[in-house]
């Protein structure tokens, strides 16, 4: 077995791990502050859990004598770099803070692809928030490319699976909350584009607004999700200022489109309750959609300080406008696209089993589900695929994910989801 510490007395350079991403192949060895190997040269960061393990550290270290080209190969686009025991003037020899390279193609399984896109989004948002000069503009360009990839490739690959993967992660934990929440909002906004009759330009700019609405407080959002106490006075001031701060950062990066900037600036503003979407101006129309999606998805996401709401409560809190009469257009579109019980959330069935929703059914209140807990709340070894259009397995209530103690096998759930699209018509496997 190779020695886990550097040979001899090697000088270590500390760098922020924030810009690592899932799938990155290491061209040099990452070490801790004692020089012990965290991940060896040539290996890949295989999944989001491995990435978060590295990013939970304030810094990771590389040996001073490692190739500067190797350092640049992995640390391109670092939002910040910290020096440890080396002259400050030497940092540029090891770490480049700029990148003009396009993101490599997304490969691997669907869960892996979504993990990569989430990781890259976190990197890009960090660069917009912290970089200077041309770095911000380059990050915005990459964000545009990532948005096109979301619209034209990843969501088209399997929309049902995308909703399941993103929503389930959002309702079952708060690690990496800010980037995940922005990504989920952007994807849901895109799914609403057709029923709300948005143009392609509106669709793109609404997605960009969703991805960047919290760019000025991504680190604070992650911190707030993990703290039990209420925001401090200083934190609340940053929360209150973040829409305007986000617009300032985007303008500094060269963003000029009103359809992008207005929803970012106004996404927490109290809008008039009377006008329909068609009666609102273009920017306000997109703002209204973003507000509903933001509140709806955030309500279901847990925090250290509270449990996430179930889907029914989340819909009520996000869709019902104080003082507004009649049906809410955005809310109706949400139900049309996601159903009353979105994929990835949990429900209780008439037979007393607890199930995870796989996808929307023909009717909004009759989703395809997989039972994961029996009537005694014990895990079911082989999840049972159900179509809840039958009275004996009908949905009787939504359940907050915070109340469900089961860890799902994602691959198994995606197989069940795929089967739900082919088996029911022939009566296969549906009980």
Q: Whose CA is closest to 276, among 323, 340, 330, 356?
A: 330
Each residue of 91-129: pLDDT tens digit? 333 333 233 344 556 667 888 889 889 989 999 999 999
Each residue of 158-189: pLDDT tens digit? 999 999 999 999 999 888 899 999 999 999 99
SS3 289: helix
pLDDT at 384: 92
What's the length of the chain? 431
CB atoms within 10 A of CB 173: 16
Q: Whose CA is closest to 261, among 283, 281, 240, 242?
A: 283
Report how far Cα 219 is from the mean position of its chain's Cα atoms. 14
* DSSP code at position 150: I
Q: At what angle do helices 282-300 and 177-192 cross, to 10 degrees?
A: 130
Q: Token pair for residue 420?
A: 């739900």
In the chain the domains, ranked by start, together with CATH numbers, are: 12-94 (no CATH), 110-338 (1.10.3210), 346-426 (no CATH)
Contacts of 327 (CB under 8 A, 6+ apart): none
Mean pLDDT, the chain, rounded, equals 82
Q: Token pair for residue 417?
A: 């989801």
Tally of CA atoms within 13 A in the half-sphere of 316 that contains its CB: 6
**What is the rounded CA–CA span in Å between residue 170 and residue 300?**
8
CA dihedral 55, 212, 72, 41 (to 10 degrees): 30
**What is the rounded CA–CA span in Å between residue 19 and residue 363?**
43
Q: Which residue has the higher pLDDT, 72 or 219?
A: 219
Each residue of 369-428: pLDDT tens digit? 999 999 999 999 889 999 999 999 999 999 999 899 888 999 999 999 999 988 544 333
Q: Whose CA is closest to 75, among 87, 53, 91, 56?
A: 91
pLDDT at 324: 53
Q: Token pair for residue 248?
A: 């300032």
The pTM score is 0.75
């Amino acid at each position: 077995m190779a020695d886990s510490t550097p040979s001899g007395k090697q000088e270590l350079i500390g760098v922020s791990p924030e810009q690592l991403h899932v799938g990155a192949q290491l061209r040099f060895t990452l070490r801790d502050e004692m020089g012990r190997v965290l991940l060896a040269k040539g290996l890949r960061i295989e999944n989001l859990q491995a990435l978060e393990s590295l990013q939970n550290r304030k810094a990771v270290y590389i040996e001073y004598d490692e190739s500067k080209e190797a350092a640049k190969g992995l640390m391109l686009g670092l939002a910040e770099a910290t020096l440890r025991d080396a002259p400050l003037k030497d940092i540029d020899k090891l770490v480049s803070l700029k990148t003009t390279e396009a993101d490599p193609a997304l490969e691997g399984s669907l869960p892996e692809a979504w993990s990569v896109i989430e990781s890259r989004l976190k990197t890009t948002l960090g660069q917009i928030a912290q970089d200077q000069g041309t770095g911000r503009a380059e990050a915005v360009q990459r964000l545009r490319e990532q948005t096109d990839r979301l619209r034209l490739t990843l969501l088209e690959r399997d929309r049902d699976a995308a909703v399941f993967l993103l929503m389930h992660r959002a309702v079952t934990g708060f690690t990496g909350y800010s980037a995940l929440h922005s990504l989920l909002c952007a994807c849901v906004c895109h799914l609403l584009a057709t029923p709300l009759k948005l143009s392609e330009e509106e669709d793109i700019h609404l997605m960009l607004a969703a991805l960047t609405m919290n760019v000025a407080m991504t680190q604070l959002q992650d911190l707030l999700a993990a703290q039990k106490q209420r925001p401090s006075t200083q934190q609340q001031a940053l929360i209150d200022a973040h829409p305007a701060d986000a617009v300032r950062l985007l303008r500094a990066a060269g963003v000029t489109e009103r359809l992008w900037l207005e929803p970012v600036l106004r996404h927490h503003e109290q809008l008039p309750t009377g006008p329909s979407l068609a009666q609102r101006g273009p920017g306000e129309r997109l703002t209204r959609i973003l507000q509903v999606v933001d509140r709806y998805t955030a309500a279901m996401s847990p925090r250290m300080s509270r449990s996430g709401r179930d889907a029914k409560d989340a819909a009520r809190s996000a869709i019902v406008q104080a003082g507004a009469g009649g049906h809410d257009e955005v809310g109706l579109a949400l139900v049309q696209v996601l159903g009353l019980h979105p994929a990835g959330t949990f429900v209780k069935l008439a037979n007393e089993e607890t199930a995870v929703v796989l996808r929307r059914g023909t009717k909004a209140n009759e989703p395809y589900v997989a039972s994961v807990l029996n009537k005694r709340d014990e895990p079911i070894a082989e999840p049972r695929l159900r179509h809840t259009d039958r009275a004996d397995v009908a949905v009787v209530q939504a359940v907050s994910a915070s109340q469900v103690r089961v860890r799902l096998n994602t691959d198994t759930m995606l197989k069940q989801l795929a089967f739900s699209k082919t088996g029911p018509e022939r009566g296969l496997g549906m009980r």
